[in-house]
A and B are shown apart, each in its own frame.
Chain A
Amino acid sequence: MEPSAASTTALDLARFQFAFTIAFHIIFPALTIGLASYLVTLEGLWLWKKIPKYRELYHFWAKIFAINFAMGVVSGIVMAYQFGTNWSFFSTFAGGVTGPLLAYEVLTAFFLEAGFLGVMLFGWNRVGPGLHFFATIMVALGTLISTFWILASNSWMQTPTGFTIADGRVVPTDWFQVVFNPSFPYRLLHMVVAAYLSTALFVGGAAAWHMLRGRSTPAIRTMFSMAMGLIVVLAPIQMIIGDLHGLNTLKYQPAKIAAIEGHWDSVPGQSVSLNLFGWPDMAAEKTLYAVAVPYLGSLILTHELYGQVPGLKQFPPDDRPNSTIVFWSFRIMVGLAILMLVLSLWALWLRWKGELFSSKNLLRFAVLMGPAGLIAVLAGWITTEVGRQPWVVYNVMRTAHGVSNHSVAALTTSLAMFVILYIIVFGAGVIYMLKIVARGPDEEGPPEDAIDNPLHRPSRPISAAENDAAVEPAETAGK
């Protein structure tokens, strides 16, 4: 097979299109994964304790989940086809590995989510409580299984094992090694915990926003309390997973770590200082304006005082990832993680003092931190994906050799369509989601009489994210 003949401009356009569409996409699944598990928790608590606030919260977050899920589905289909439309040489070369993993994701996760989603969103009055709870659990399970397969695929591209190359393409030899490749366990845990943290911050921010406006119902307090409780447990765990993930990356992708740290020269026997801030300059081969802490780099990366790690100059210029980008994306992620820890410890302290719901400053901070998890997810993915360059399959296939031979005109057209459409459509979706968040949970919940009445079917309006305020007489006439 001959490598792609696409021009540099076409390659950059295809890369930008992929980055743009996947960056929009990942926000939705990150919330879907977290919200699905949150909904399982809420429904379980409702069935167990029968306290109305749990049911109120379930219906409230189910509406937001519905919009978010729809956006995740439609932006995800784009990804499933983009490997073929834009990365056809990569797909021909590596489809033998990535194809079956994607197929397993569809079969074990997407169908499970889609099959039970309808019952979960529209079936509250159509099936028994146990069966409805089962449907919610299946949807949540589907989101986690989906994470498993897609991260197996991504991790294989980062740290490929269990294959050989024959006739110019990848041939899997050991599927266990393909799936459980060296970076997979760390990346999987890191992403699942990130999704939970992002959701907890979003839920906590929503609750804080209502409380700052004097709306401090039991349901909203429960939202806030659960969110802060989850963050104080998960934020430290995430930092430990992140540290282990970093050590794993140092072992398998040392150039990525060197780029993240803006570390150019490796001198044996000398300790590595940690660049807190600075501006890695790829052309000058050094990090300008560096604010460095001695020994800290060795300590963090090797857990030893004089441990040495490879510097970027040890790699040929063509094999170096862009340090300027990953240096900063990594610091944004870590900075937000530290803020998450501060938020959760502050909340813990106020909880201990019995003032969790009364500190305006804590609530304001929680509102500001509402999108922090999602921003950290984006920053983290930018770090790991840009840090993998110039490889699409690490040390096996270069990104430039995987791209389809499209003209600049075709790519410009598609990219322009995606940018305009995504901003309008997903912008509107986010606005609708935030409007529901701003309205807050209904205090009365769904009418109880609906449950035993077979005629009382949830047909109009049937969307789970239906706007109560928009219901007009014509539609309620049949009641």
Chain B
Amino acid sequence: MGVDLPLIWALIIGFGLMMYVIMDGFDLGVGILFPFVPAREDRDLMVNSVAPIWDGNETWLVLGGAGLLAAFPLAYSVVLSALYLPIIVMLIGLILRGVAFEFRLNAERAPRYLWDTMFAAGSYIATFCQGLVLGTFIQGFKVSNNAYAGGALDWLNPFSIFTGIALLFAYALLGATWLIIKTEGPLQERMIALARPIILTVFAAIIIVSIWTPIQHPEIAARWFSFPNIVVFSPVPVLVILATLALLWSLRPDAHALPFVLALVLVFLGYSGLVISLWPNIIPPSISIWDAAAPPQSMGFALVGTLFIIPFILVYTAWAYSVFRGKVRPGEGYH
């Protein structure tokens, strides 16, 4: 049989995680921007712009977990137990953020302020923890006897804290550009103004991670800087610079969807840089997708349904987005 099941599954999970980062990225970004927008009507608009779709966005995270368990149970087990506390705290952040969508509108004035704070706090906590997870993942895990052999706090180090903060800015960028599409008037102007410093920070963070990672990990340096890789991969940094410049240029008063699209491009480039650095390891630094693969009977069974169903998911998700297209406007009640 010539089908490389682990390879196909790595592509599917990679696709699912990218969908998650993009989609939950912008709605977590909306929460991250909350402290910068104090007015209640504006906050309502911000929440309303993602209320009908956030749940679907977050489902990609569940698919990431389930897909990993189905296709690479060893990676699921090792990575999640190595990252025990950050994962638990991330889940707690997602809980606070998720229930705040509903609770803030059912609360009286004082608890409503509390749930607004929880909405923002949950978004910060979840995003920062995802960044910690990302940074720890890049640095790799100690594994022996097919189990995690490192300490309970290995994830706590300068690099992963840096990636945690960097991810906050990346999601804030997605959130701000999303709100440029969905809002108008002063709130939209505010988002355009906020986007500029966020873009520059994200760009700086990408450069710092791109220098820091190869210095720490010679094998990743070799991956990028050896010949012919250096030629093959050179479009990635060039495109990062072009995307950043285009983003800055696109932030004009009549901006609509272009900044968001360019922000997606930038995030996608960062993501592909990560894949180039770590491929084909699913438990860095040394366990590959083939080492960690589930039995072929498991991968094959799950694959049939996945390839059949994902197109349907994409179609009806796109339809749901189109139902709620256009600007969100205040003062139009649903009851």
In the complex the two chains form, what is the Cα distance from A456 to B330 in whole Å? 10
In the complex the two chains form, what is the Cα distance from A173 to B80 in whole Å? 27
Interface pair B103/A75, CB less than 8 Å apart = no
In the complex the two chains form, what is the Cα distance from A414 to B80 in whole Å? 14
Smallest CB-CB separation from B118: which chain A residue? A425
Interface pair A84/B333, CB less than 8 Å apart = no
Most B CB atoms within 10 A — which of A69, A70, A426, A471? A70
Contacts of B298 in A (CB 8 A): 95-97, 99-100, 171-172
Query: Which listed segment binds B: A38-46, A251-259, A272-280, A460-468?
Result: A460-468
Contact with A along B92-103 (1 / 0, CB 8 A): 101110110111
In the complex the two chains form, what is the Cα distance from A112 to B55 in whole Å? 11
Contacts of A460 in B (CB 8 A): 41, 44-45, 48, 328-333
Contact with B along A76-98 (1 / 0, CB 8 A): 11101101111011011011111
Interface pair A414/B305, CB less than 8 Å apart = no
In the complex the two chains form, what is the Cα distance from A417 to B44 in whole Å? 29
Interface pair A91/B334, CB less than 8 Å apart = no
For window 96-117 of B, CB contacts with A under 8 Å fall at 96, 98-99, 101-108, 111-112
Known contacts: A74-B98, A99-B73, A467-B106. The answer to whether A84 contacts B320 by CB under 8 A is: no
Query: Which listed segment binds A: B63-71, B193-201, B233-241, B246-254?
Result: B63-71
Interface pair A459/B48, CB less than 8 Å apart = yes
Known contacts: A171-B297, A462-B48. The answer to whether A111 contacts B56 by CB under 8 A is: yes
Contacts of A302 in B (CB 8 A): none
B58 within 8 A of A: yes
In the complex the two chains form, what is the Cα distance from A417 to B101 in whole Å? 21
Smallest CB-CB separation from B83: which chain A residue? A85
Smallest CB-CB separation from B182: which chain A residue? A459
Contacts of A173 in B (CB 8 A): 297
A129 within 8 A of B: no
Known contacts: A103-B63, A404-B84, A461-B334. The answer to whether A172 contacts B297 by CB under 8 A is: yes
Contacts of B104 in A (CB 8 A): 463
Known contacts: A2-B145, A428-B103. The answer to whether A107 contacts B331 by CB under 8 A is: no
Interface pair B69/A95, CB less than 8 Å apart = yes
In the complex the two chains form, what is the Cα distance from A470 to B302 in whole Å? 47
A327 within 8 A of B: no
Main secondary structure of the interface of B (DSSP, over half): helix
Interface pair B105/A78, CB less than 8 Å apart = no
B169 within 8 A of A: no
Interface pair A118/B323, CB less than 8 Å apart = yes
B76 within 8 A of A: yes
Main secondary structure of the interface of A (DSSP, over half): helix
B205 within 8 A of A: no
Give min CB distance, A103 to chain B, whole Å.
Answer: 4
Give min CB distance, B127 to chain A, whole Å.
Answer: 15
Smallest CB-CB separation from B105: which chain A residue? A463
Cβ 8 A contact of A111, one of B59, B77, B89: B59
Query: Which listed segment binds A: B146-154, B170-178, B211-219, B260-268?
Result: B146-154
Contacts of B146 in A (CB 8 A): 1, 92
Interface pair B102/A463, CB less than 8 Å apart = yes
Query: Which listed segment binds B: A221-229, A236-244, A429-437?
Result: A429-437
Smallest CB-CB separation from B151: which chain A residue? A407
Query: Which listed segment binds B: A120-128, A287-295, A316-324?
Result: A120-128
Interface pair B69/A102, CB less than 8 Å apart = yes
Interface pair A106/B105, CB less than 8 Å apart = no
In the complex the two chains form, what is the Cα distance from A5 to B310 in whole Å? 39
A175 within 8 A of B: yes
Interface pair B334/A95, CB less than 8 Å apart = no
Known contacts: A92-B77, A171-B297, A476-B333. The answer to whether A115 contacts B317 by CB under 8 A is: yes
Interface pair B320/A115, CB less than 8 Å apart = yes
Interface pair B88/A474, CB less than 8 Å apart = no
B225 within 8 A of A: no
Smallest CB-CB separation from B40: which chain A residue? A474
For window 420-467 of A, CB contacts with B under 8 Å fall at 421, 425-426, 428-429, 432, 435-436, 442, 446-447, 455-467
In the complex the two chains form, what is the Cα distance from A199 to B263 in whole Å? 45
Interface pair A126/B324, CB less than 8 Å apart = yes
Cβ 8 A contact of B332, one of A106, A426, A457: A457
For window 382-431 of A, CB contacts with B under 8 Å fall at 404-407, 409-410, 413-414, 417-418, 421, 425-426, 428-429
Known contacts: A97-B298, A99-B70, A479-B333. The answer to whether A123 contacts B91 by CB under 8 A is: no
In the complex the two chains form, what is the Cα distance from A123 to B108 in whole Å? 26
B306 within 8 A of A: yes
Contacts of B58 in A (CB 8 A): 73, 77, 114
Most A CB atoms within 10 A — which of B74, B103, B146? B103
Contacts of B61 in A (CB 8 A): 77
Q: A95-B77, A103-B67 known; 19 other A-B pairs, CB under 8 Å?
A: A1-B145, A67-B103, A70-B101, A84-B69, A86-B84, A89-B147, A92-B78, A96-B294, A99-B73, A99-B298, A105-B66, A110-B63, A118-B53, A122-B52, A126-B323, A414-B84, A460-B48, A461-B44, A463-B106
- Residue pairs across A and B with Cβ atoms less than 8 A apart, 21 shown, are A67-B103, A73-B55, A81-B80, A88-B78, A91-B69, A92-B73, A96-B73, A103-B63, A103-B306, A116-B320, A117-B55, A118-B51, A122-B334, A175-B297, A405-B81, A417-B89, A457-B328, A460-B328, A466-B334, A470-B105, A475-B333
User: Would you list the 7 A-B pairs with minimal beta carbon distance, nearest first?
Assistant: A478-B331, A95-B73, A118-B52, A84-B80, A99-B70, A458-B334, A88-B77
